[in-house]
Amino acid sequence: MMQNVHLAPETDEDDLYSGYNDYNPTYDTEELENDTAFQQAVRTSHGRRPPITAKIPSTAVTRPVATGYGSKTSLASSMGRPMTGAIQDGVTRPMTAVRAAGFTKAALRGSAFDPLGQSRGPAPPLEAKNEDSPEEKIRQLEKKVNELVEESCIANSCGDLKLVLFNLASQYSANEMYAEALNTYQVIVKNKMFSNAGRLKVNMGNIYLKQRNYSKAIKFYRMALDQIPSVHKEMRIKIMQNIGVTFIKTGQYSDAINSFEHIMSMAPNLKAGFNLILSYFAVGDRDKMKKAFQKLIAVPLEIDEDDKYISPSDDPHTNLVIEAIKNDHLRQMERERKAMAEKYIMTAAKLIAPVIETSFAVGYDWCVEVVKASQYVELANDLEINKAITYLRQKDFNQAVETLKMFEKKDSRVKSAAATNLSFLYYLENEFAQASSYADLAVNSDRYNPSALTNKGNTVFANGDYEKAAEFYKEALRNDSSCTEALYNIGLTYKRLNRLDEALDCFLKLHAILRNSAQVLYQIANVYELMEDPNQAIEWLMQLISVVPTDSRALSKLGELYDSEGDKSQAFQYYYESYRYFPSNIEVIEWLGAYYIDTQFCEKAIQYFERASLIQPTQVKWQLMVASCFRRSGNYQKALDTYKEIHRKFPENVECLRFLVRLCTDIGLKEVQEYATKLKRLEKMKEIREQRIKSGRDSSGGSRGRREGSAGSDSGQNCTASSKGERLSAKLRALPGTNEPYESSSNKEIDASYVDPLGPQAERPKTAAKKRIDEDDFADEELGDDLLPE
């Protein structure tokens, strides 16, 4: 084993530069003349032979390496290991290196050498974090908690125990652990060395206010007010405002007035002014209400005018600055402050206008004059429109119309708002021509007013031009994607056009916005029903009754769907619930009565038909059904009395006389001859009428005869226009003849005694208890109640 180990000579250990003169003898040009192989290659074709190709790719051809002294022996490693590619015992050792660093096969195909991948360009940007996701919110809360813990640890290490307790009390309060928070604050406040005890007592007062312990809240607010120096004017004003609000909550309006009066004299602000008006309103002081309203109007807003954000020149630098500050945080704060001021002023005016003068109209006029003389002059028109809305609430439509017509010559924004309301009013009164005229005026004044476009679509819808109505609704949605009235109405329009898929899309989008809207849920269920998908319709109706569990119409609709699916037990459950909440629905009463007859419980059906006869006393069919139920249950005497009562009220009813004849004959009563004579007379009159009808049809073409035939039907005055009534009369006429046993319980007799409750019905979708959705009259509720917001 040691024969292949070659030790380096000891003389080379001290020679740091040994081997630097060693080079490959191939490049030794000085010895070429003595090189026999080279000379032979030059003289002959030996040198033109093709080179020897290695059998193993990527291995080098072995060539002996010469030393600096001309020797041609192979160099060995210091450990005796043969060199890569060296010849040993006549066998060439293969190369072990496969690829150099950074080398890829792609380089052989013309690719540039790019070991760092710089040719791929910059990395894609990182995905933005969704700050609204629950995970991100949890991370932010965890980060804040960790920061508070770190601050507490640092404060504890520095000996600042008050800060630790303050953080603890704040967290107790934030988590509604008020008792623990108050105890922690008490520990801090009792420390005489703590100089800011007054501020902490404000926090304690706030906790008592949340607990509705108003007396203690006032006590701590006053203690804080005594301990805070007068130099902290803003803090003292805020504490005074808290005291005034607490007095309002306790009903001590005089004390609240004193607090707010002090604030308005020292540092007037919008909240204090509005609360002062509320306090005077509570005590009913008209003059003080007027003065407080004037003080509220006079509160300075301390914001820049809008002209500041309009470029006065074409200077590009100035334009860039204005563009930068036009919507910055300061500008947004100014808008919010102005909107808050307008809200307080409008609310205060609507509150005091009806009470400061003899009538609300005079009160509104006074408020309008005061507003016109202030910096809020643009609110005067809004107050006038609110005056018209107040007339509407008092159902004084003429005064409302007169008030709104005053704005026809105003600027475009106010004119559009007034014309929108006028269009709405005329639409409610079914004056579609006037409604369309004012809708056009509103649209022409402000083409981007979604309420005006919605009302215009309503007037076109009422005229039956559904395609054009859909265009107006679409334009309203383009101007304001949150206009739910337009989205709902376009869904109704698509239903009328039988474009059910598009209607369903509209209602599903609306459902995403109005999650608990009973009208939207019903419309989705109705569309699925029209698409002949009862399972989906039932599912959405179940969602509807979860929102309005007492809606009798939705419950009856569920019963109808289950009945159409053949599930009588579920149908009975929902029909019964519908009857329980609204026991005056004839369709539900009819179905329940028929259900009990079908299940052989005629006694229970009697109460439903009796109720139906009370609701519709002129309809003989319900009383006939009551008598039939008595007869089926075996109470023949009660049935006979009922038939006699029916004959007394409806002496020309043929069906009643037939049953009287049958009952009297079977029981053996003497009245049978009287009833038989009346029956024959009525049948003879019937034949005469039929002959007249036939002759009238032959002479006049049948139009008049058809009318007379309808008037002279078998039921006489008791016939109805509905298909259900016709089926009922036909089935009553199919009752067993005189010779058949009337106590029979055959299927034929059962079928003849009730009406199929699932007859054709007019499409009148309904939702919400005591409220119906009627597509024919949808303008009352669904189509754009476009009054201005109060």
Q: Which of 411, 412, 272, 236 is nearest to 344 (CA)?
A: 272
Most confident of 27-36, 621-630, 700-709: 621-630
Residue 496, number of CB atoms within 10 A of its CB: 14
The tens digit of pLDDT for each residue in 155-191 reads: 667 766 556 777 778 878 888 888 888 888 888 888 7
pLDDT band at 542 (very low <50, low <70, confident <90, very high): very high
pLDDT band (50, 70, 90) for residue 608: very high
Residue-wise pLDDT for 135-165, tens only, equals: 888 888 888 878 877 877 776 677 665 567 7
How confident is residue 545, by pLDDT bands cut at 50, 70 and 90?
very high
Q: How confident is the model at residue 110 (pLDDT cuts 50, 70, 90)?
A: low
Contact between 543 and 523 under an 8 Å Cβ cutoff? The reply is no
Render the burial of 340-370: b for 16+ CB within 10 Å, e for the rest.
ebeebbbebbbbbbeebbeebbebbbbbbeb
Helix, strand, or coil (residue 35)? coil
Domain boundaries, the chain: 413-506, 611-692
Q: How far is CA 434 from CA 86, 250, 401, 412, in A?
A: 109, 52, 12, 20
| Domain pair 413-506 / 611-692, same fold | yes
Read off the pLDDT of each residue in 367-380 and give the average, rounded to a whole number.
Answer: 85
Cβ distance 298 to 374 under 8 Å?
Answer: yes
Encode pLDDT of 198-251 as tens digits: 888 888 999 999 999 999 999 999 998 988 888 888 899 999 999 999 999 999
| DSSP string over 370-414 | HHHTSTTTTHHHHHHHHHHHHHHHTT-HHHHHHHHHGGGGS-HHH
pLDDT band of 23, cuts 50, 70, 90 = low
Q: Provide CB contacts within 8 A for 742, sequence distance 6+.
A: 631, 659, 662, 663, 666, 736
At residue 305, φ and ψ (nearest 5 deg) are: -75, 160
Per-residue pLDDT for 277 more than 50?
yes
Q: Across residues 63-74, what is the average pLDDT?
A: 42
Q: Which of 536-540, 545-549, 622-626, 739-743 has the lowest mean pLDDT?
A: 739-743
Q: Is 781 helix (H, G, I), strand (E, B) or coil?
A: coil
> Is 732 a residue whose pLDDT tops 60?
no
Q: How many beta carbons lie within 10 A of that of residue 418, not counting itself?
A: 26
Q: Does domain 611-692 have CATH number 1.25.40.10?
A: yes
Q: How far apart are CA 30 and CA 34, in angstroms?
A: 9
Rounded to whole angstroms, the Cα distance separating 104 from 102 reads 7
Strands 91-92 and 87-88: antiparallel
Return d(Cα 190, Cα 602) in angstroms, integer.
82
This prediction has a pTM of 0.55
What mean pLDDT, rounded, does the chain reach? 76
DSSP per residue, 453-478: HHHHHHHHHHTT-HHHHHHHHHHHHH
Share of the chain above pLDDT 70, in %: 71
* Architecture in CATH of 413-506: Alpha Horseshoe (1.25)
Query: Among 110-119, 535-544, 651-660, which stretch is predicted with the lowest mean pLDDT?
Result: 110-119
Q: How far is CA 77 from CA 14, 25, 260, in A?
A: 18, 19, 101
